[in-house]
Structures are given as C-alpha cells and as structure tokens.
Amino acid sequence: MALTEELAAHIGAANVLSGAAMAPYLPDWTGHYTTAPLAVARPCSTKEVVACVRAAAAAGIPVIPAGGRTGITGALMTTGGLLLSLERMNRIRALKPDARLAVVEAGCILSTLHDAAETQGLYFPLWFGARGSATIGGALSTNAGGSNVLRYGSTRGLCLGLEVVLADGRMLDLMGELHKDNSGYDLKHLFIGAEGTLGVITAAVMRLVAQPAAQATATLALRGLGDALGLLRRLQAATGGAVEAFEYMSPSYMRELARHRPDIRQPFDSIAPCTILVEVAAPTPEAAEAHGDGRRPLDRLLEEALAAMLADGTLIDAEIAGSVAQRRAMWQRRELAAEVMFARKPHIDTDVALPLDRVADFLTAIEPRLAALDPGAEPMAIAHLGDGNIHFTVYPGRDDPALADDVIEIVEELVVGMGGSFSAEHGIGLSKLPSMARRKNPAALDVMRAVKVALDPGNLMNPGKVIPA
Ligand SMILES: Cc1cc2nc3c(=O)[nH]c(=O)nc-3n(C[C@H](O)[C@H](O)[C@H](O)COP(=O)(O)OP(=O)(O)OC[C@H]3O[C@@H](n4cnc5c(N)ncnc54)[C@H](O)[C@@H]3O)c2cc1C
C-alpha cells in the first residue's frame, strides 16, 4: 500500500493532502526556501501521530513536524518527506490555576493560550510578533525567546513536561507537572530546541505566571546605546525588578521602518541615536489602581524614574503610552522588525547573543570591519537588549553569496570572540548549518550526532537540519 493510502486509513483521507491541495503548506515565511513534500498529514491525536510516524518509518520516508510555519531558518524544507502538521492537535487539555500551569497540545497557537490563561487571571509569558500563528510545538522545538525573556526566561524555562513521539513510533511520556524532579537525565531538554530532529512533540505542560495587574509602556530616546544598561538597572531598582521588556531600535532600523511603513508614526521629531521600548509591570495590585486624577501609581513610578533620567541628561526624550491604543502603536513599531528586515533584498540576517555588557561594543566594533569588507553595506540592528540578543542585519552593496558568507564570518568571529553565540533564538534549521560546522565545539557536535543516532538511527526525523553533515 502506498504511504498516502496507509496514512488515509489511519487519519482519514481528508487529512492526507497531496498535489495542489498542499499549496497552503508550501510558502516559506522568509520567501528564501522552496519545499516539495511528498504529502501533508494532519493527525488529530497522539495515537494518530504514532500511526503516521510508524507508517512513514516503515516506508523509509522522512517526517518533518510542522507548527505555525513561522520559523525563519528554513527548518521545514524537504524534498519527498512527509510534512506532519500538528494544526489539528490544538486543544488545551487542562488549565490548572492553583498549580499555575497549562497542559496543551503541540498545535495550540500561542495567542490561544494567552487568551485562555487570562480568563484565570494568569499569563503565559512567551510573547513575540508571530504569536498569532506560532504554536507551542514550534516554540518548544526552536526554544523561542521573544520580548519577555528578560523577566520570565525562554520557552525552555517555561516547560515542565513533554509528550513526544519518537522516530520508531514509541510514545515518550514526560508529562510531569513538577518543579523539581531529579530522577535521572531530564530528557525533555533533548527535544526542546531540537527543531523536530529527535521526535514529534505532541503535548506539553507549560508554566503560567500571575497576570500583571497592569503595564506601563514607554518609548525612550537616549544619547547612545552605552547609557541603556545603566537605565535598565535604574528602572529595575525603581520597580523591584518588574521590567518585562527592554527593546533596542537602532537609528538605521527607525529609518528603514519609515521607508517601508511611512504610515507608522515615528516617536520623536528626529530619530534618536538610541530608541528603547520599555515595559514595566505593576509590582503590586495597588500600583495599577487609577487615582482621582486618572493616573495609576505605576505611571507615576515610571514618570518619576524617567524624569530623573531626563534631568541628569541620560534621556533626550520620552513618550509614555497613555492608552491601550498608544501601547499597541509602540509595540507595532518594534514588532514590524521581521517584516521590515525581510522586505528589502538582498539582506543578510543574523540572530546573535552577547553578554549584556558587550552589545554596545559589538555594534561599535562591527561597523569599520563591515565597511572594510563592503563599503556599500548598510547595517541595521534591533535587539531584545534586556537579554543581549541582537538581530543584526546587513543590506550588502551587491548581491553576492560569497560576500554574504564573508559578512556572516566577520559578524560571528566578533560575536564569538566577545563570548557570544551565533544563534540566539531562531534556531539553526538550514540557514545556520555552515555556522554550526565552523563555530560549534567539535566535541559538542560529536555528542549531538551520538544523540541523533541513538534516537533516530534511520535519520528520518527532519533530516539535514541542525547538525551539519
Ligand atoms: C514576524 C515574526 C516574528 C518572530 N519573532 C520571534 C521572536 O521574537 N523570538 C523568537 O524566538 N522567534 C521569533 N520568530 C520565529 C518563529 O516565530 C519561532 O521560531 C516560532 O517558535 C516557530 O513556531 P511555529 O509553530 O511557527 O514552528 P514552525 O515554523 O512550524 O517550525 C519550526 C521548527 O520546529 C519544528 N516543529 C514544529 N512543531 C513541532 C512539533 N510539534 N514537534 C517537533 N518539532 C516541531 C519544525 O520541524 C521546525 O524545525 C518570529 C517569526 C516571525 C515570522
């Protein structure tokens, strides 16, 4: 029996797509990669995932797990593999307010979990621009970060338990709801960040946190990036560590935003040397209650902290959101970053992590190196500054793959030399395989290969991704 027929017998013919019916599953968000799967399967339960994986393994066909398809490293590309879409496994199995956790299926979209948690006065703190499409399974598989890592950590830190279907079809039940469990190797961490190369995540236990009673959001103009970390430290001290997001937008990003989206209002009359979006949560419920003048103690706290910094010259200007619409507009400026970056071609994108106190050094040191390599290059930086993660993009002077490689090489050399990583939050996929080969510790690569062979001896789980040949 052909694989598609066998799959149809297990999950229903309507959930096995081939030919033109696969069209909605083929576009790559970046527009950079093309894919040609044999078929798309859409199981709706763990049992059905087991059946699909077993059938594909028996036929020797690779399995590529897919979530919201918002990944930007080409990790879903295949020629002749089975795209296993988790979209129908989208249920929230349980919300446990007292235990502050949610038991969710892998295809659950992040914003669905945000909304469900809110009904219980809780918050699922994984937050980034693609939250309306990205899934729990995809976020776990890329160990996604986003804007709130500063306060709540990345996806790995939010995961308590995991259910995984292994390459041979066995179901690995690691769905503990425990905060402490030292019973041997913590196997869930193998699958988090593995980009589907070790198994299919079918469900997870995710931590929830108390819903902040309110947030205060501001856009700040600074004289330079060098002052930003001091400002963050002062805001943390003033709010008892309640800063939730601290995002950097470089002048080149603000210019590119103005060019690409002239409809978006710029925050200040002229573009500042350093623009920061900061969001602070109410440290106590009282801080969120509006007084007679309509202002909340939280707003006053932020205003006072910022006024002191304006007075001593740290800040040039500041705009505090006075309404939900203003807060949304501030976030829109930041969250358009991926769209802005990918709109202009050719571009060379990187996603690097540095120790917090080396970010400014990196951005200063890279400019002359880049200019020496390609005098026509225009760099653009945007950063989750609170956790040292820079999306450093270069618009090169000419469209030349060899030049792109050289640009990536000088960026990575500088990053690694400063104690950083060439991959912060987007994963490896296909796009960073050369960097893995060049930069990853050889012993670490050997261990990864040994793990891969132990769990997937036939190399059928999303082959060719993460680990260089
Ligand atoms: C506008 C925009 C903004 C973004 N902002 C951020 C950001 O701030 N921070 C950040 O970290 N990322 C960001 N991303 C990248 C992307 O959204 C994340 O990588 C996201 O976690 C991917 O989720 P997904 O469901 O779309 O996964 P997909 O793109 O479908 O898959 C990504 C990888 O995970 C694997 N996978 C998916 N589901 C499973 C599963 N159930 N089991 C095993 N493997 C699986 C796939 O095989 C693939 O390797 C952004 C992307 C866009 C388009």
With beta carbons less than 8 A apart as the criterion, state whether 234 and 278 touch. Answer: no
Distance 191 CA to ligand 1 centre (A): 14
* Residue 440 pLDDT: 96
| Kind and range of the H or E run holding 406 | helix 401-417
Output the CA–CA distances (angstroms, integers) from residue 320 to 97, 191, 330, 381, in the order listed. Answer: 32, 41, 9, 23
For ligand 1, mutation pick of 48, 52, 69, 70 (most atoms within 8 Å of CB): 70
The per-residue pLDDT of the chain, averaged, comes to 96
Going by C-alpha positions, the residue among 193, 203, 200 that lies closest to residue 64 is 200
Strands (E), 231-355: 243-249, 274-281, 315-320, 348-349, 352-353
pTM as predicted: 0.96
Query: If DSSP codes are grouped into helix, strand and coil, which group holds residue 205?
Result: strand
Distance 85 CA to ligand 1 centre (A): 13
With beta carbons less than 8 A apart as the criterion, state whether 178 and 101 touch. Answer: no
**Number of neighbours of residue 312 by Cβ within 10 angstroms:** 8
Distance 75 CA to ligand 1 centre (A): 9
Going by C-alpha positions, the residue among 185, 183, 181 that lies closest to residue 205 is 181
Distance 145 CA to ligand 1 centre (A): 10
**Which atom of ligand 1 is nearest the CA belonging to 72?**
15
Distance 142 CA to ligand 1 centre (A): 6
For ligand 1, mutation pick of 86, 88, 141, 332 (most atoms within 8 Å of CB): 141
Q: Is the dihedral of CA 131, 392, 261, 431 positive or negative?
A: negative
With beta carbons less than 8 A apart as the criterion, state whether 459 and 387 touch. Answer: no
* Residue 293 pLDDT: 81
With beta carbons less than 8 A apart as the criterion, state whether 374 and 138 touch. Answer: no
Please report where in the chains the tokens 């793959």 appear, as a residue.
401
With beta carbons less than 8 A apart as the criterion, state whether 207 and 158 touch. Answer: yes
Question: Range with the lowest mean pLDDT among 37-51, 137-151, 299-313?
Answer: 299-313
Output the CA–CA distances (angstroms, integers) from residue 217 to 117, 151, 220, 242, 323, in the order listed. Answer: 22, 15, 10, 12, 10
Distance 462 CA to ligand 1 centre (A): 14
Tell me the C-alpha distance between 254 and 337, whole Å. 10
H-helix segments, 23-164: 46-59, 110-118, 136-142, 149-152, 155-158
For ligand 1, mutation pick of 142, 331, 333, 466 (most atoms within 8 Å of CB): 142
With beta carbons less than 8 A apart as the criterion, state whether 354 and 420 touch. Answer: yes
Distance 70 CA to ligand 1 centre (A): 5
Q: What is the pLDDT of residues 282-321, one digit of tens each?
A: 878 888 898 888 888 898 889 998 998 899 998 999 999 9
**Which atom of ligand 1 is nearest the CA belonging to 195?**
49
pLDDT band at 95 (very low <50, low <70, confident <90, very high): very high
pLDDT of 132 > 90? The answer is yes
pLDDT of 1 > 70? The answer is no
DSSP secondary structure string, 348-400? EE-BEE--GGGHHHHHHHHHHHHHHH-TT-EEEEEEEGGGTEEEEEEE-SS--
Q: What is the pLDDT of residues 172-229, one digit of tens each?
A: 999 999 999 999 999 999 999 999 999 999 999 999 999 999 999 999 999 999 999 9
Ligand 1, residues at Cβ distance < 6 Å: 29, 64-72, 75-76, 86, 106, 128-130, 134-135, 137-139, 141-142, 144-146, 195-196, 200-201, 338, 425-426, 462
pLDDT band at 21 (very low <50, low <70, confident <90, very high): very high
Tell me which DSSP letter residue 211 carries. Answer: P
Token representation of residue 146: 């986003």
**Which atom of ligand 1 is nearest the CA belonging to 109?**
25
First-residue to last-residue Cα distance in the chain: 33
**Number of residues that make up the chain:** 469
Is residue 189 classed exposed, middle or buried when 0-12, 13-18 and 19+ CB atoms within 10 A define those classes? middle
pLDDT band at 275 (very low <50, low <70, confident <90, very high): very high
Q: What is the pLDDT of residues 245-262, one digit of tens each?
A: 999 999 999 999 999 999
Tell me the C-alpha distance between 259 and 297, whole Å. 38
* Residue 213 main-chain phi, psi, to 5 deg: -65, -30
